[in-house]
Copies of this chain bind each other. A is one copy, B any other.
Amino acid sequence: MTQSLKAGQHQFRSGCSISRTLELFGDKWTLLVVRDLMWHGKHTFQELQRSDEHVPSNILSQRLRRLMDWGLLSRTPYQDRPVRYAYHLTGKGRSLEPVLLQVMAWGHENLDGGLYDPETGVSKS
């Protein structure tokens, strides 16, 4: 039994937009799923599962359901017999692109290079 909170039934911790956004994306996987759907042309469960970061299948399943519940993506069958589904971002989902770009830019400028040494302040791979 899963508890997939629909957006309409969710009680936010506070009125802050940052806090609210974190209640949806405040984990290590959700934005990666959005990244792969948005830029990497991955649309099936299997393709999404085979990202560089190796998201566990149960986590992926739960995240896809949550994103659908929130109206950020939709699922459509791409074949019958047997039925197989493809996931696509909705307009709301695609509106996350500026967020993703900003996060990527920050990471690129500050976390690039594999390992970061706080002693020297030097990044190294």
**Chain A interface (Cβ < 8 Å from any Cβ of B):** 6-24, 26-29, 31-32, 35, 51-54, 69-71, 92, 95-96, 98-100, 102-119, 121, 123-125
Contacts and interface: CB of A to CB of B under 8 A. Distances in A.
A107 B18 contact: yes
Given A15-B113, A53-B14, A102-B102, A107 B21 contact: yes
B15 A125 contact: yes
16 contacts: A12-B115, A12-B125, A14-B123, A17-B111, A18-B107, A20-B112, A21-B103, A21-B111, A22-B32, A23-B28, A26-B29, A70-B116, A70-B118, A71-B118, A99-B102, A102-B102
Given A15-B124, A16-B32, 20 more contacts: A7-B118, A8-B115, A8-B118, A8-B119, A14-B52, A15-B115, A15-B125, A16-B35, A16-B52, A17-B105, A18-B35, A18-B103, A19-B53, A19-B107, A21-B104, A22-B103, A26-B26, A95-B110, A99-B102, A99-B103
